[in-house]
A and B are shown apart, each in its own frame.
Chain A
Amino acid sequence: MDKILLIPIFAPLVAGFLMFFVPNTMKPLHKLLALAGAVVSFLLAIRIFSSAGVLQYSCSIVQMGDFNLDLLLMTSPLRSFILLFAMGFGFLISIYTLKAGPSGDGSNIFYGSVLLTIGGSAGVLLSEHMLFLLIFWEIVTVSLYLLITTGGSSCSFAATKSFAMIGFSDAAFLLGIGLVWALSGTFVISETGVGTSSAAAIGAFLLLMTAAITKAGALPLHTWLPTSGEHAPASIMAILPASLDKLLGIYLLVVIVSEIFVLESRALSFILALIGSATIIIAVMIAMVQHNVKKLLSYHAISQVGYMILGIATLTPVGIAGGVFHMLNNAIYKCCLFLCGGAVEEATGTAELDELGGLGNKMPFTFVACLIAALSISGVPPFNGFVSKWMVYQGVIRMGSAGGTMSGANLWPVWLTVAMFGSALTLASFVKVIHSIFLSRNPSHKRDIKEVSGLMLVPMGVLAVLCVLFGVFYELPLNLFIYPALDIEAGTAIFGTWDSALATAFILAGLFLGGVVLFVGLVSRKSRTVSTWTCGEIMDNDEIIVSGTHFYKTISEMGGLKQLYKRQEQKWFDLYDQGGLLGLDLSRFLRWLHSGLLPMYLTWVVLGLLIILTVFCTIW
């Protein structure tokens, strides 16, 4: 009975719920309470992580025959490591929101929901009982809805869409849990271990998988992410879709693959690999042509999930470790990127790429943090994103060499090509972001821009440092967090070579040597600052700004791709919109049925009863 497990869950939940009733005039109290809740959870998460052995807590709530609902909390290396980072992100975001909170009313809802998110996430990560996991999972969904609504009236559509799509996947989750219960007779995760040979088991797997990947934001139920990214404040995107939703979704996927089910059907690993690869390439192609930085980042938040899913789908130790490591790395740099985007929006009042430019001189700290995070997400060595992608690639190659019995394994060249090519496309879209926001030229109406407050810079700085640290000394997080969590013996998984620290030392040595050569040159003749050369013409340079938004027109105008991009703009591939149209048709049909004639209604009722009766009789 380790009661310590209760505090990180229920302290923020209770505080968050109470906060809804604190009036909006007491904004400092909201901030203080949110920060206090986040700090307490983070400190306890550190204690839980550092405590040896398994902590557990159980408390019976309802018991009816086979059905029992126990509050069953338990730690494992996987859980406590994800908990540590989830609470860490909560803590950093609550520092960031001290300065960048909601502008208008609704500060009680905002900070209360932040606390609910933190508590709910802790609950998901510690629950051993699947129904409680679902309850906490729902709390996170609801708080996402509430958080998005605080962004103002333009956000209500985004909030509703997110809630509808995630809510749908949560319904799938509930059904899946029901099926697992029917198959294994228990709700306790560690006691399940369902084999995936029967149709019901495969159905349950697919249902649970839907819940996990929708939360994480993979295709095909991904469209809630860009819609909310466009409207919701950046700090919200940073805490939920960019970091916590990823951690929770991928955590659930790992639990499904390794604990709840015993994967016998290789078709399922094929489905996962297919979803992963499709997510990588499709989302990044769309991201490349976006004009709004937050929307662009949202599409990358989708694309990166593909690497995690692909890694897990390989079912090899190095692939799964790479996928989980990528989850961690992605949460770090994507959170940082959203915070940078938020800082730019805060400082300039816009997130549209073609209205920005030349901020590198005005906001140097934001620029450096954003550059590091952008290089990390693009997988440039020696940053962290490269290491985890590299591990995922190894997983795919190992899956291919392990044998042809798996249906997904034969297609390993496809998965690998898509993953590696997707990484180049990611780089391309971040070159566009860096160019359009920080480099290029400063438009004249954005001259008096100042760097944002230190409270916003600290979280970005911490995350950027983590990007470098986890990249250069990648054995550290692997040995400390990832390998114990997945029960992999250190040093056995990776078969490639990447001596990141040595390479970094060499790059620094090269920088030094180049610097010496450069210094010689600069000393021998002084440098001079001049205005940009315009082929000898004297002209108003300030007005000639080439923004990055047109960069990839060559690609979006290419025959074949052009039509696809157009359809995508028209939301042909958005299951939410298509589902909405289907719903309209359905309601039209129902309206037609409701003719108002009593005999007609009676006929329907009798017919329906007969059908149900037949179904019951054939089954039992």
Chain B
Amino acid sequence: MSEVVQNLFWILVFPGFLFTVGLGLLASWIVRKVSALVQHRVGPPMLQPVYDVIKLLGKETLIPEAGQRATFMFSPLIGFSAVLLLSTMLWRISFVPASPFVGDIIVAIYLMVIPSLALILGSSASASPQASMGTAREMKLVVAYELPLVLAFLVVIIKTAGAVGDGRQLSLAAIAEHAPVLSISGMIAFLSALLCVQAKLGFVPFDIAEAETELASGVLIEYSGALLAMWTLMQGVMLVALPLFLVVAFLGGFGSGAWGILAGAGKYVLVLVLIILIKNTNPRVRIDQAMRFFWFWCGTAAVVAVALAILGNLFSIGWL
């Protein structure tokens, strides 16, 4: 019984729903504030994302009549709960590394696809031509970045497998004890994965599926009111979960003790700021450019990283 209560606490309060949503809204404030600073603006007050969600919840919800109603309304919830699960999982193994929880690194990679999938299904169900184009773009983007992401994941496995021992190669907690980024291959893999996360978040230069100026928000065009509020919350939670995944997989995670937690928080903020800087210094690319970029440039770099990592293992050169 106590285990059930404990699990409920994990998912409801800390580090689940309340904590993650709060942190997510804070993160989206940081995104807006830093973007404003980059553009020499003042930026919104700290509670602005909260006001936005509350305001959206108070607005009328419009539902397209030709659409598939149930899919249209369920999709934001599915995406939200999947990314909430991912975030809970990552926090939990950061704080209690001793006991395995829910899933390993492969599970994390697969859970990261669900928000995009939910977005795709929801927009597809809205029966709008613009949304359909957004659907296609979002899916192509997933296909595009999945290749370098898998390769980057391989680098993590290769770099850490020898150190964590047989049987724990996939454990997130074991991987978090190592920082593959402190090697050439790990650095390349980290940068590739960072760009993939950028695309997963739908940030510039990869905001192709939303593309306000050409598709009028594309995938989200028919969403309004409470449903749009759910998407906003989901994007907030993604802002927590995805950089956290990078911290766990590449940057050595949180460690133990107060200093460890502080360092972990610092790593998270740094990754977030990196993402924001990329977002603010690039123009949007076309979908074919994005695909070519991820498959040929990013992919090649990641392949080189995998090769370097294997060579490093063969000749026991740690920094390779």
Q: Which residues of A contact B (CB under 8 A)?
A: 358, 360-361, 364, 367, 379-381, 386, 390, 393-394, 397-398, 401, 413, 416-417, 420-421, 424-425, 427-428, 431-432, 434-435, 438-442, 495-499, 502-503, 505-511, 513-515, 517-518, 520-522, 524-535, 541-542, 544-546, 548, 550-552, 554-555, 558
Contacts and interface: CB of A to CB of B under 8 A. Distances in A.
Contacts of B186: none
7 contacts: A427-B113, A431-B139, A503-B102, A506-B11, A513-B17, A517-B57, A528-B61
Interface string B273-297: 0000000000000011001100000
A468 to B, nearest CB: 14
Contacts of A533: 64, 128, 221-222
A112 B74 CA distance: 45
Contact of A531 (B66, B150, B166): B66
A390 B61 contact: no
B129 A401 contact: no
Interface string B250-274: 0000000000000000000000000
Interface of B: 7-8, 11-12, 17, 56-71, 73, 76-78, 80-82, 84-85, 88, 100-104, 106-107, 109-111, 113-114, 117, 120-121, 124-129, 132-133, 135-136, 139-140, 142-143, 146-147, 150-151, 153-154, 157-158, 161, 166-171, 216, 221-222, 225-227, 229-230, 233, 287-288, 291-292, 306, 310
Contact of B107 (A381, A435, A521, A544): A381
B6 to A, nearest CB: 12
Given A379-B110, A413-B310, A555-B140, A515 B64 contact: no
A546 B167 contact: no
B66 A442 contact: yes
A442 B127 CA distance: 9
B77 A503 contact: no
A550 B136 contact: yes
Contacts of A379: 110
* Most-contacted residue by chain B among A386, A425, A499, A514 (CB, 10 A): A514
Contacts of A511: 77-78, 81
A434 B120 CA distance: 10
Given A397-B157, A514-B81, A520 B169 contact: no
A428 B146 CA distance: 11
Residue in B56, B114, B139, B158 with the greatest tally of chain A CB atoms within 10 Å: B139
Contacts of B142: 424, 427-428
Nearest to B64: A532
A518 B79 CA distance: 14
Contact of A360 (B71, B107, B143): B71
Contacts of A380: 110, 113-114, 117
Shortest 9 CB-CB contacts between residues of A and residues of B? A510-B81, A521-B226, A546-B132, A424-B146, A360-B68, A521-B57, A527-B61, A514-B77, A439-B124
A233 B91 CA distance: 50
Contacts of B135: 431, 435, 551
Given A380-B114, A528-B62, A554-B288, A498 B68 contact: no
A524 B113 CA distance: 32
B165 to A, nearest CB: 10
Given A506-B11, A517-B226, A526-B60, A552 B140 contact: yes
A538 to B, nearest CB: 15
Contacts of B161: 397, 401
A497 B103 contact: yes
B298 to A, nearest CB: 13
Given A497-B171, A525-B225, A510 B85 contact: yes
A544 B129 contact: yes
A178 B73 CA distance: 61
A421 B146 contact: yes
A435 B102 contact: no
Contacts of A427: 113, 117, 139, 142
A548 B135 CA distance: 9
Nearest to A361: B68
Given A413-B158, A416-B150, A514-B233, 6 more contacts: A381-B110, A506-B84, A514-B230, A518-B227, A521-B56, A555-B143
Contact of B291 (A394, A513, A532, A555): A555
Contact of A497 (B57, B120, B170, B216): B170
Nearest to B147: A421
| Candidate in B82, B102, B127 with the most chain A CB atoms within 10 angstroms | B127
Nearest to B306: A413
A417 B150 contact: yes
A499 B101 contact: yes
A104 B34 CA distance: 70
A563 B268 CA distance: 44
A407 to B, nearest CB: 15
A424 B291 CA distance: 14
Given A440-B132, A530-B63, A554 B166 contact: no
Nearest to A442: B66
A36 to B, nearest CB: 39
Nearest to A519: B226
Contacts of A367: 68
User: Among A413, A529, A552, which residue has the most Cβ atoms of chain B within 10 A?
Assistant: A413
B103 A528 contact: no
A527 B77 contact: no
A161 B270 CA distance: 60
Nearest to B291: A554
